[in-house]
Structure 1
Amino acid sequence: MRVRTPFRCSPHPCEYEIAFVSDVEGDLDYFNRWVAGSRCVAYTGSDEAALTLTHARAYFVYGGDVPDHGRGSEQLLRLLVGLKRAFPRRVALLVGNRDLNKLRLTSECAPSDLARPHWSIPAPHWDASAPTLSQHLEQVAAARGGATAESCDCAAERLRWMYENTLGCPATFEARRAELAALRSVGSATGDNGGGGGGGGGAAVSDEEVVAAAVADVMPGGAMSNYLRHAFSEPSRNLPGTFAGAMSNYLRHAFSEPSRNLPGTLAGAMSNYLRHACVAAVFGQTLFAHGAVDARTAGYVPDDSTRFCLPAAPQAGRMVDSVSEWVDALNGLLERGLADHAARPEWDALRGV
């Protein structure tokens, strides 16, 4: 394999102080400790409701992987998006695998996919020790006593199985439930219970509501989608808005009872994040990206037609020769991909896109 010549660094001297943190994964306490020690990023008030940059030369890069393990995923998403909106040219929010892989939830938690027989869904191909969905449901049934895999097969158990065995975050389902309950309690105290009626301030969050919130997160208009779709120095203004009612329709038909009491501030937290994020960014002479950049990957741009294939198959792509071309091309790929997801939030017939 031919090793490519490394990208040439920018000739301009660095005039920035750049703060960087990554992979917080929902641990808001950790993030708060990081902010307390930062010279560039601070909270605007004692309520820790918004962030700001502390001086004119301060810049900030979040390296990706916002949610999952902690109980502050939704709050962290909104804090980061708020900072990006306040300082669009001095803040870069990168996408990580834990951010992008949530897009699959609009397919795998959709009624059409939930109708697939549980025995037809295999274990993840990369983990020989992981159970199949059927094995997971049998374990759940045994723990409940007298139940069957079929009687336990529902959106919540499929999402638990996905989190535990395909997304590497076994505690996420309950972490999300705890955060939703806490935010509902705050919403009740402030008179914001999502506008759906029914009260319920501080009431327990059902399994169905956890699933509904997880899917709503990545629908257009949500925090993670917004994070991804606003990846660039200028907001992306021309993405389709045809799915404004898609999630409400989904919620009406996916569950036996609609989810009425989720806090209104939670609608699409991950979606908003994705609308504001990018694959790569350059400040001064430094390239920022989530994951490794090596001789094989530097300068490579996948084609828009790239599909997920098992077994792996050659995919179309191209090479570019400069950092700026590469960053622009990767971010353009993300923008078009998010527009495609907004237009087609469920799998195609081959389950490859």
Structure 2
Amino acid sequence: MKKLFPYIILALILSCCKSNGNETQKSEVLEQKESNPVEEAKISEKIILQNQSDTIAETQESEKKYVAAENGLTIRDKPSIDAVKIGTLSFGTEISIVEKTDIQLKIEDEGKTINGQWVKIKTGDQKKGYIFDGFLTDEIRSNLFMVSYNPKWKGMELKLSFSKISDTDFTSHKNNYDSKITKDSTVKQDSSFFAFKTSETLYKLYNNRTTGNPRFDYFGYLEPLNSQIIGGGGDGIYEMFLVEMERDSVAHLFAFSDSNSDVPVISPDNSKLISFQSAPGSDLESYIALYDIAENSLLKNYITYETSEWRINEIVWIDNKSIALKVYDNYRGKDKNGEKKFENERYFKATME
């Protein structure tokens, strides 16, 4: 037995070494599997592709809309009228619908029933929440030049007979004239744009040119024609438009070359409209267009008068056949009080023949 004891000890030692070797090999294999760069790259690539797929799916499902509610739309944290209010979207705001809940809702607005559902949306600044989609619209217009019509020129000259009047006479005629232009409270104005809605379309017009569109300005609502008066243009040109609210038509008033148009004036009996403009620079060129107004309040056709003797500063109607004009030769900037200065300013009464 004593002779066998050393062999037993040796066998036990060899058995332990083999066991430790196997464990070491297993550990090394596991470490290799855990730190395999190829496998890690494949897993990472799958995650990236999945994220891209999720983003693409959301983008494809998103639907661009615009807020058509004149007083704005409330965003809530859940699709319920009783849910917490988390913000407000102003009139004309662009949003993306990312989910439709099919939770229907009816709202009474100024005697009309508005049907819609709750939708989940996100804004340009990544704000998310739920709104009622009954006050959203698909289309928005930001360029009147692309959608306007031009009333037809009759091919005739407007004949006017002129007589001089005093500045006091002109001031009296101006004070007696009612332009019938008011500010429409439904037109929402911001620091960079103004927006309003006709019977069919939401208009969002920018008063700067950073958007790539022409610059537009709001001059008021002309009640007899149910139209908004909008001026627009770019470098060296400025023209006038009338946007009729019920028929959603855009009349592009007469413009000659690079002249700068002014706000149109309507006759006392609402049957005629005058638009006028003067060329900038050294040319003494001025144009007057006289429009006939149809029974449906749309502009039909027009005739024109042109002169190279003066520029027009202002026109007002005296009666249905005559107008008063304030004209000048050149603009001399502003005085220390901010008042405009004109060279050779004078006044005329013009009667239509």
User: With CA pairs under 8 Å and 6+ residues apart, which has the higher RCO, 1 or 2?
Assistant: 1
Q: Normalising to structure 1: TM-score of the pair? A: 0.18
Q: Normalising to structure 2: TM-score of the pair? A: 0.18
Would you tell me which structure has more strand in proportion to its own residues?
2
Whose Rg is larger?
A: 2
Would you tell me which structure has more helix in proportion to its own residues?
1
